[in-house]
């Protein structure tokens, strides 16, 4: 058999296999809600251990509770707790965490109305902690963000976001100038965060990202970021500590930080839950309210009595904060369209460190080199070139759709029956033409 005809038969066989895969996907996967469906993900990290850091775990669980109330399912939340104070033998309320454990006895500035709002247990029986204890590390955080996991990592431990996803990254713990401390043993650096977000953008793992940091000197964590469509919100500025809100006499510890206390208060009292939400916490509160904007959230927090200054970095973000609903990142809500990323001049880049940009460029160069090597032709004949030119676009479309079913929570839409029928017809037509040829 001639090499050209053998190549043609191979292409026809691959088209048939792709059509079969597409049919399997279409028959086994329900149709997606549409290309504009909301796709929001949350990565919530508490980096501190030990009973004395009760408030950091409570911070993370307060945000976890708030985003669940606003419609974000556990399948799109990655909760990372370096310690579980709820399980500590010192906890007088075993298996439970509260922002105001003593409710009526909570002091230090919590009003009676605010205590009533935060009196509920933050750790319900159905809470899903994806990373706990020693699993929470600099390595695991960067692997979650960049998607570079060891073989066998389950989907529940992966951030399955895509190029149109809105991602919330919440960090709390002990921090300093350009670092977040984990377990009192290692540090997540601002350059690590910048590099990871640059790689996320380059590999299409997020459309827009909101970084919220509640640590001392929190604003230094986003100072080196150069990736586009990133909004940074911090509880404190360079040289400034982030303070606890109140101490609870039942626990004997500070139980929540000021910034997160007011963030949680706003999200649970001023933002309505989705109409389909069955959350008990959201059923009675927020009824009849319109969805506020991120600017309104920041204005509310800044209006409270805080010992630190809330910082915002919006030069990389493509929208006005007054136009972005809070549930774009904190729940199940519609988001403004992500504009195309312009090529920013080097003179406009912030800071002198280019680790994130270099990492992204290296990633793109490696991908381009692999594509070039795979697509390099070996002196094709005119017949072969014509065949490849006519069948390439159809083959790539069918193979991409039929590559396999998506894990739970991914955004790949299911193919329509018309696409399956078209793929079958094209594959059979090419096969018949090849078999009839000389």
- What HEC string does 109-131 produce? CCCHHHHHHCCCCCCCCCCCCCE
Residue 412's domain comprises 3-31+377-436
Together in a domain, 209 and 187: yes
Q: Average pLDDT in the 379-402 region? A: 47
In a domain, 371, yes or no: no
Q: Average pLDDT in the 290-305 region? A: 94
Please name the residues in contact with 355: beta carbons below 8 A apart, sequence gap of 6 or more.
191, 194, 195, 224
In a domain, 243, yes or no: yes
Together in a domain, 231 and 331: yes
Together in a domain, 23 and 54: no
Distance CA 85, CA 108 (A): 21
In a domain, 360, yes or no: no
Asked if residue 383 has pLDDT above 70, the reply is no
Asked if residue 110 has pLDDT above 50, the reply is no
Asked if residue 317 has pLDDT above 70, the reply is yes
Asked if residue 115 has pLDDT above 80, the reply is no
Domain boundary among 323, 354, 385: 354
Residues with a catalytic annotation lie at 174, 216
Predicted pLDDT at 323: 95
In a domain, 196, yes or no: yes
Q: What is the CA radius of gyration of the chain?
A: 25
**pLDDT tens-digit readout, 41-73:** 999 999 999 998 999 999 999 999 999 999 999
Together in a domain, 316 and 419: no
Where is average pLDDT lowest: 7-16, 77-86, 148-157? 7-16
In a domain, 368, yes or no: no
Q: Confidence band (pLDDT; 50, 70, 90) for 35?
A: very low
Asked if residue 270 has pLDDT above 80, the reply is yes
Structure tokens at 389: 């030119």
Asked if residue 160 has pLDDT above 70, the reply is yes
Predicted pLDDT at 119: 53
Q: Average pLDDT in the 360-365 region? A: 51
Mean pLDDT of the chain: 76
Together in a domain, 394 and 349: no
Together in a domain, 321 and 382: no
**More confidently predicted of 341 and 85:** 85
**pLDDT tens-digit readout, 164-214:** 999 999 999 999 999 999 998 999 999 999 999 999 999 999 999 999 999
Domain boundary among 319, 354, 389: 354
Predicted pLDDT at 178: 95
Together in a domain, 111 and 58: yes
Q: Confidence band (pLDDT; 50, 70, 90) for 303?
A: very high
Asked if residue 1 has pLDDT above 70, the reply is no
Distance CA 389, CA 11 (A): 12
In a domain, 92, yes or no: yes
In a domain, 13, yes or no: yes
Together in a domain, 19 and 47: no
Tally of domains in the chain:
2
Asked if residue 400 has pLDDT above 60, the reply is no
For residue 204, which phi and psi values (nearest 5 degrees)? 70, 40
Please name the residues in contact with 40: beta carbons below 8 A apart, sequence gap of 6 or more.
72, 76, 165, 166, 167, 168, 327, 328, 329, 331, 332, 333, 335
Q: Confidence band (pLDDT; 50, 70, 90) for 24?
A: very low
Structure tokens at 279: 């959350």
Together in a domain, 105 and 7: no
Residues composing the chain: 438
Predicted pLDDT at 86: 86
Together in a domain, 24 and 162: no
In a domain, 372, yes or no: no
| CATH code for position 332 | 3.40.50.1460
Together in a domain, 310 and 424: no
Query: For the whole prediction, is pTM greater than 0.75?
Result: no
Together in a domain, 24 and 44: no
């Amino acid at each position: 058999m001639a090499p050209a005809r053998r190549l043609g038969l191979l292409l026809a066989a691959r088209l048939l296999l792709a059509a079969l895969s597409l049919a399997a996907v279409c028959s086994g996967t329900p149709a997606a809600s549409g290309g504009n469906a909301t796709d929001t993900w949350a990565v919530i990290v508490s980096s501190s251990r030990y009973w004395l850091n009760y408030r950091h775990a409570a911070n993370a669980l307060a945000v976890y509770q708030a985003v669940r109330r606003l419609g974000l399912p556990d399948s799109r939340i990655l909760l990372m707790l370096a310690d579980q104070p709820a399980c500590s033998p010192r906890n007088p309320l075993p298996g439970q965490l509260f922002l105001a454990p003593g409710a009526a006895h909570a002091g230090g500035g919590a009003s009676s109305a605010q205590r009533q709002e935060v009196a509920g247990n933050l750790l319900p029986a159905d809470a899903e902690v994806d990373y706990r204890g020693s699993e929470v590390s600099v390595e695991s955080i960067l692997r979650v963000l960049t998607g570079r996991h060891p073989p066998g990592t389950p989907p529940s431990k992966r951030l399955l976001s895509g190029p149109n996803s809105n991602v919330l990254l919440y960090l709390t713990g002990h921090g300093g100038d350009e670092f977040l401390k984990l377990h009192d043993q290692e540090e997540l650096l601002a350059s690590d965060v910048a590099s990871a977000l640059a790689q996320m953008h380059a590999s299409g793992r997020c459309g827009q990202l909101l970084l919220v940091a509640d640590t001392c000197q929190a604003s230094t964590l986003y100072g080196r970021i150069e990736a586009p469509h990133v909004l940074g919100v911090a509880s404190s500025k360079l040289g400034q500590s982030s303070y606890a809100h109140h101490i609870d006499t039942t626990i004997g510890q500070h139980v929540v930080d000021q910034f997160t206390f007011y963030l949680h208060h706003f999200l649970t009292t001023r933002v309505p839950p989705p109409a389909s939400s069955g959350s008990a916490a959201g059923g009675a509160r927020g009824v009849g309210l319109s969805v506020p904007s991120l600017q309104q959230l920041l204005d509310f927090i800044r209006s409270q009595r805080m010992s630190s200054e809330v910082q915002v970095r919006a030069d990389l973000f493509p929208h006005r904060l007054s136009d972005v609903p809070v549930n774009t990142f904190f729940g199940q809500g519609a988001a403004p369209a992500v504009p195309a990323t312009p090529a920013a001049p080097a003179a406009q880049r912030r800071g002198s460190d280019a680790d994130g940009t270099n990492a992204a460029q290296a990633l793109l160069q490696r991908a381009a080199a692999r594509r070039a090597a795979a697509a390099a032709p070996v002196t094709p004949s005119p017949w072969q070139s014509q065949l490849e030119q006519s069948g390439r676009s159809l083959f790539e479309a069918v193979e991409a759709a039929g590559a396999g079913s998506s894990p739970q929570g991914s955004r790949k839409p299911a193919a329509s029956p018309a696409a399956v029928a078209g793929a079958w017809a094209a594959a059979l037509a090419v096969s018949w033409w090849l078999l009839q040829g000389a």
